[in-house]
Amino acid sequence: MAGALAGLALAVAPRLAAQAAAPLPLAVQHPAAGALPPSDTAVAAPGASARIEPGQSLHGRLEPGDQLMADSTLADVWEFDGTAGETVTVEARSDEFDTYLEVLDAGGKVLGRDDDSGGDLNSRLTLTLPATGSYRIVVNSAGHERRAGRYTVSLKSAPATPNASDLKRRTR
């Protein structure tokens, strides 16, 4: 896990490179056994990456000990798996700071960025995943008053839509 995140940090240098060498343990608290509800009180430990699944809204906190971006702001990293052609919508909402989102592929390539498309100072990003694999959501703060604080990140998913030629093949 630490090696994969270190590769991510180096691939999006200079944004995450400051913490690339630090091991990042996964420490997320979840409710007792069973499926996770759509809204959960999980908070990733400072500096740790955490998992998010489609349909979930999870709580996070930008705080000392988190990833440091090149501009010295704090960032949290959330991981999810996706399928080629799947459309995902990622949102970050906070009453405490201006949210900023990035979605990266497994190689660290930035697939999309957003600051205020979620209304007010909240972020919303919708994109179609280019390949089946692992992806990362980076939650950061934006604006002149970059600071720490609580936020909610959510991930929604729509399955890949077959194209017209796929439908023709299936109906023959």
Q: Quick check: helix, strand or coil at residue 164?
A: helix
Q: Assess if residue 123 is contained within a domain.
A: yes
3-state helix/strand/coil string of 82-138: ECCCCEEEEEEECCCCEEEEEEEECCCCEEEEECCCCCCCCEEEEEECCCCEEEEEE
CATH at 105: 2.60.120.380
Q: Assess if residue 29 is contained within a domain.
A: no
The predicted model gives 108-133 an average pLDDT of: 92
Strands 133-142 and 98-105: antiparallel
Domain limits for position 58: 37-171
Q: pTM of the predicted model, to two decimals?
A: 0.70
What pLDDT shows up at residue 43?
Answer: 63
Of 96-100, 119-123, 164-168, where does mean pLDDT reach its minimum? 164-168
Report the number of distinct structural domains present in the chain. 1
pLDDT digits over 52-66, tens only?
999 999 999 999 889
Q: How confident is the model at residue 25 (pLDDT cuts 50, 70, 90)?
A: very low
Q: Is the pLDDT of residue 131 over 70?
A: yes
